[in-house]
Amino acid sequence: MRFASTALALLVLVATGCASGGAAASTTSGEGAEAQAARPARGTLNLIPNAEVEAAGGDILNAYDLVYRLRPSMMRYRNQTAGTTSSGEVTGPIAYVDDVRLGALDLLRTVMRATVKEIRFISPTDATTRWGTGHSNGVVQVITKR
């Protein structure tokens, strides 16, 4: 009987936490509502929003470092060789800044963090639809502040 009442109490606690959007669980972790509100909104795996760009560490100086630190999954691709081939073909995701093709991801080091509004990863299918063939590993698109 004691096991059943303990299990029922646990079930009620879990249901209450789920119904309140997990607020009960977050308060037990020691982090208050003020701390949660102060933290910038984190984007999805395919988006680094402006709030997250602004809140990034002061040692991050360019768009390449933002992607490398905040969403390294954007740099992964199907081919295992990175950079460019001897013929100049980009073998990884292609970097675009404001819809202008930049080239290999290393060139994102030339885009200063202060100018970045957001960064998106565009899938190979969507990139091919938008910019044409030659985007088999997707696109890392930087949108700047204007």
CATH of the domain at 64: 2.170.130.10
State the residue range of the domain holding 98. Answer: 41-144
User: C-alpha distances in angstroms, 124 versus 51, 75, 129, 130?
Assistant: 26, 13, 9, 10
What total of structural domains would you count in the chain?
2
pLDDT band at 86 (very low <50, low <70, confident <90, very high): low
What average pLDDT score do residues 36-44 get? 59
What average pLDDT score do residues 38-51 get? 78
pLDDT band at 108 (very low <50, low <70, confident <90, very high): very high
Query: CB of 90 within 8 A of CB of 103?
Result: yes
Q: Verify that 34 and 45 share a domain, yes or no.
A: no
> How far, in Å, CA of 128 to CA of 137, rounded?
10
The pLDDT, as a whole number, for residue 18 is 44
> How far, in Å, CA of 59 to CA of 62, rounded?
9
DSSP state, residue 114: G
Nearest in space to 48 (alpha carbons), one of 118, 133, 100, 101: 118
Q: Verify that 12 and 53 share a domain, yes or no.
A: no
